[in-house]
Chain A
């Protein structure tokens, strides 16, 4: 048999994205594209007040408005539960976190601008909008709690009147006494107060949901913009509406970006589900951009004081971080986990700091809920760490690169137990740092700085070394830490009779390119062309189970489940092939799509084995079932630990303070890489969001709790012309505990870039003696420093 043409669609190939054909041609199928017969339209009535009592709601005028089918308020949802929180954190005294009810619609009180109060359902969206304006809500406005420090400071005012205080939890991790002792005895302690600015996620596609109740069989279908449809089915079905799984199907079709904000179970999903049954027709809700700003969970929003203690040689002795983390008005699905187990556990970074202690208070305020946003806790950890390390370098006069090198965990030290509960399996922090320095010509910086100065520009260079933890796991440990769900992933590989393959994966693609990457894993393993592989995701009616996509877990957990299911396919295929070749399965090897017996010319193609499995005329029926379909559930043994070094060079215009990033390099260790092009794209996107956080983005509330940055006029999103040409490089230390040796790459760019950018700004402003500028570092802030008294 002639050697087959090489497929060039296996692991390690930069295969162009299969899904882009439909996206670029406008053939994507997003929730708002779905139009069901007799579909109706829902519009939410939202609170204009940050804190008020709702004395009454007069819906009569709205009900009388043209085309209106129903106007629903909290009374219509009294039979149902509130929106659940999926992670329970305990305070340091052992008490469980305060978990106030998060009603579907406001029950007598509103707690943030945008809190839904009523919903209008009408024949058309225009009619629903018109009627929504007629819903007369009688509010009594109260003074809101906006500032976290104010909300914590023993105020008698409460965001939730049935809670003892506005502190949701008072959590700690690490050895407080050892940290205190090390700080007290240290040769030098660097102290920094900083803000991790609140961000609005701004996925390109606003959230949308359609409830479709089938009166014939009593089955609900929810189409929703979700990163994890099975999680929504579980949360909404089991905790909110008491619908069993077999009567609730959740479909998340094409989804236009999530960045964390589409993990969570939102009220609108429950509202359209209930309303569809009530009126007997499908109900669609689609957010407009203004609604997204005040109803999508926001990200970050930490106030931190960090201290780093060193000996006389710059060796880190201890780190202490005290943080107030904004929860907003209600606990969003995974909110409590973000500033705690996804943040405090990362405070060792890439360093050997022996004593670490962190205390985090989650704080309720009259603002939109805050939850995971690209990186979720890990960007906040990297930012405070890499900022305080850079400041320590300035204070001690040790070169920032040298200071990091002196404290790196060494490549031969793995597995490495940190003082904050993690075991890093593998890494090489020197390697990525060396690579980043080389790629950005570290030695030539002084020359470039002089050239910039000659043009009236202040040039700065910043580095940041990050580590992240991807693929939260294993489930039993996560459960012990408060997760109310498992964190495995499921995959089914269905080989069709003619040899094509459908993969049913619990991972969800909302821009990541799984339809390509996962297909490459199949192509590589089974030796079939990528065109013969279909990646099916986002439908609880098709997929056995799944925990979805967040925390850079898809390839590390979902990909591992796929690899294990493929192994089962190959194992069964070998048994079928052995029968066909009248040999022992132990002697059959599988390579490049051929089952063969080593040392002979006997072989059977994958397609023949597939056909035999479904037309089992010559088949070992007494020992083997027909068919070729296998499912694997994969529960990881540990997190994966991507790491890397990012370098940013920028110029500041001395006249205007405008910052121009002139060079940015990301050197990452993602373990093995399936598709380098897609990985590079993920890094580019992450860096764009990180640069946005560092220089432009920031959600601002006024004292009345009004979101001042509630549109693109005031919330500054990075655009192509704000961004540098990002270059990337990779060093590979393969993950030691999953079958593909992969780590995950989705969040790294947003984790490593903010400190690299801010470090570069501070470096550029070295002559002004400025120690820190809070993000977003706008031109106005920089100009003000350059023009302050004495400068």
Chain B
């Protein structure tokens, strides 16, 4: 499944880049995120509670950052284990572009899901994921508008 989109964030590119690499900001902005720990410059561990239709589970995700080209682009690769709910894995290419009104963030992700998540939630993944992405950007907007 491919998830492609973009969003203009009302902040300079350097600050957006920093925010995207700050575990505390990510934790605040990712819906259902209970914790994020940074194991190294390029490795994160996160615990996220997510609900896809009838399947609700706590996903333990390992995320690595690749092809880092600050502050323009990088690639996220990760996989999340939801126990008996199944798993999700995938990658996302993210680019940051300076535009009028701030920074345009473009993402192009591919994702595979398995287990119960795929069995009963597959047709809800797209809509739920988009909802989570929009919520993330809304929270990021709020983060910047709050001036923190």
Q: What residues make up the interface of A, taking CB atoms closer than 8 Å to B?
A: 45-50, 113, 132-136, 290, 293-294, 702, 704, 706-708, 710-711, 713-714
B119 touches A133 (CB 8 A): no
A706 touches B114 (CB 8 A): yes
A706 touches B83 (CB 8 A): no
B116 touches A48 (CB 8 A): yes
Most interface-central of A48, A133, A290, A713 (chain B CB within 10 A): A48
B84 touches A45 (CB 8 A): yes
Closest A residue to B87 by beta carbon equals A48
A contact residues around B115 at 8 Å (CB): 46-49, 113, 706
A714 touches B123 (CB 8 A): yes
User: Which residue from B85, B114, B119, B123 sits with its C-beta under 8 Å from A704?
Assistant: B114
What are 25 A-B contacts defined by CB distance under 8 Å?
A: A48-B87, A48-B114, A48-B115, A48-B116, A48-B117, A49-B87, A50-B114, A113-B118, A113-B119, A132-B83, A133-B57, A133-B84, A134-B83, A135-B84, A290-B119, A293-B119, A702-B118, A706-B118, A707-B118, A710-B119, A710-B120, A710-B122, A711-B119, A711-B120, A714-B122
User: Which residue from A46, A290, A706, A711 sits with its C-beta under 8 Å from B113?
Assistant: A706
B118 touches A132 (CB 8 A): no
A-B pairs with lowest CB-CB distance, top 5: A48-B115, A710-B119, A706-B118, A48-B86, A711-B120
- The reply on B20 being an interface residue by CB < 8 A is no
B contact residues around A47 at 8 Å (CB): 115
Most interface-central of B57, B112, B114, B123 (chain A CB within 10 A): B114
Task: Please encode chain B, from 118 to 129, with 1 for each CB lying within 8 Å of some chain A CB and 0 for all others.
Answer: 111011000000
B contact residues around A136 at 8 Å (CB): 83
Q: Smallest Cβ distance from B41 to chain A, in angstroms? A: 26
Q: Smallest Cβ distance from B76 to chain A, in angstroms? A: 19
Q: What residues make up the interface of B, taking CB atoms closer than 8 Å to A?
A: 57, 83-87, 112-120, 122-123
Q: Smallest Cβ distance from A434 to chain B, in angstroms? A: 48
User: Which residue from A45, A46, A710, A713 sits with its C-beta under 8 Å from B118?
Assistant: A710
**Can you name 11 extra interface pairs (CB under 8 A) apart from A706-B113, A706-B118?**
A49-B87, A113-B114, A113-B115, A113-B118, A133-B57, A290-B116, A706-B114, A710-B118, A710-B120, A711-B119, A711-B120
A contact residues around B114 at 8 Å (CB): 48-50, 113, 704, 706
The main secondary structure of chain A at its interface with chain B is: loop
Q: Smallest Cβ distance from A158 to chain B, in angstroms? A: 21
Q: Smallest Cβ distance from B139 to chain A, in angstroms? A: 28
A contact residues around B57 at 8 Å (CB): 133
Complex CA gap A706/B87 in Å reads: 11
Complex CA gap A48/B112 in Å reads: 12
A706 touches B84 (CB 8 A): no
Contacts A706-B113, A713-B123 given; does A133 touch B83 at CB 8 Å: yes
User: Which residue from B83, B85, B113, B122 sits with its C-beta under 8 Å from A135?
Assistant: B83
Closest B residue to A709 by beta carbon equals B119
A294 touches B84 (CB 8 A): no
Complex CA gap A710/B117 in Å reads: 10
Q: Smallest Cβ distance from B55 to chain A, in angstroms? A: 9
User: Which residue from A49, A132, A134, A707 sits with its C-beta under 8 Å from B119?
Assistant: A707
Complex CA gap A45/B84 in Å reads: 7
Closest B residue to A50 by beta carbon equals B114
Most interface-central of B83, B113, B117, B123 (chain A CB within 10 A): B83
Complex CA gap A136/B84 in Å reads: 9
B122 touches A708 (CB 8 A): yes
B contact residues around A50 at 8 Å (CB): 114
Q: Smallest Cβ distance from B80 to chain A, in angstroms? A: 11
Most interface-central of B85, B113, B114, B119 (chain A CB within 10 A): B119
Most interface-central of B117, B118, B123 (chain A CB within 10 A): B118
A contact residues around B85 at 8 Å (CB): 133
B contact residues around A48 at 8 Å (CB): 84, 86-87, 114-118
A contact residues around B87 at 8 Å (CB): 48-49
Complex CA gap A47/B116 in Å reads: 10
Complex CA gap A48/B117 in Å reads: 9
